[in-house]
Structure 1
Amino acid sequence: MNLEGRKIIVNKSSKELTEVLKKAENYKEFMPEGLQKFEPREDGFKFGLQGMPEIALKIAEVDDQKAVLKSASSSLDFSLTATLNPINDNQTEVQMLFEGKFNPFIKMMVEKPLKNFINALTDKIEAYK
């Protein structure tokens, strides 16, 4: 299952965004409304949203072109990637991409909440100062 968020322009350089996305505690700023738990860890973070199970993510890779978060659970195989495309010294185009391997039943259950989550993350990143 692949989902794509809309492309947005962030008024930060890709280098500035890379520095932000390297640190687990910074992801709390991008979480959508309904955040009930946020726990930074050495290599990622765990969070819980209202009406959803808790999810643990590890920061797998961050460079000036992308930030990749992967599931910390062996039972769920997915990644969430923020692509970073520098426009100029002060602006970066960002797009969220979700890739997951789910059976059809799980896909049916998670597709809409995931799309809403990606849209909420995109909105928060776009508003990031």
Structure 2
Amino acid sequence: MHIEVPKKKLAKSDKEVFDFLTDIKNFEVLMPDNIDKFEVLDEKTFKFALKGMPEIVLRLKEQFPNEKVILGAASDKLPFTLTGDITALGENESEIGLSFEGQFNAMMAMMIKNPITNFMETLSNNMDKIGQ
């Protein structure tokens, strides 16, 4: 299953966006309003729960300076990745595109597609909070 949300232009450099996304604790700022729990487990891992949803543990899997940040599920039970592709548009302007990739059966994919899409759109919209 592949989900992409529209790219978001930011009044921040690609380095500022990359530095923000590779500091795990910053993800709390990007979370939706209906967050029930957010906990940093270590420098590369955090867990969160949204109301009515199970806890999800995300780990920083890969990073390519100022270009890409890849988070993945810490558990192999539901393997997926959340990728942020960063593009420099100028000295103090960049664009970020979020994508989700996961291996799910058809029933599971049908159940989670809308919540995942809404979650990613919220993360993207909240990118404006970087550096505030």
8 A Cα contact 1:24 1:41, kept in partner:
no
Q: How many residues align?
A: 129
TM (norm. structure 2) is 0.93
- Gaps of at least 5 residues in structure 1 are none
Q: Which residue of 2 aligns with 1:47?
A: 48
TM (norm. structure 1) is 0.95
Post-superposition shift, 1:39?
0.5
How big is each residue's C-alpha offset from its partner over 1:20-45, in whole Å with a ceiling of 9 and x where there is no partner? 11111111000011111000122210
8 A Cα contact 2:29 2:129, kept in partner:
no
How big is each residue's C-alpha offset from its partner over 1:104-126, in whole Å with a ceiling of 9 and x where there is no partner? 11101100100110111111013
- Gaps of at least 5 residues in structure 2 are none
CA distance in 2, matches of 1:100, 1:116: 16
Identity in percent: 36
CA distance in 1, matches of 2:38, 2:45: 11
Flag as ranges the 4+ runs of structure 1 deviating above 2 A. Answer: 126-129
Q: Which residue of 1 aligns with 2:68?
A: 66
Alignment RMSD, CA only? 1.0
Residue correspondence of structure 1 range 1-20 to structure 2 within 5 A: 1-20=1-20
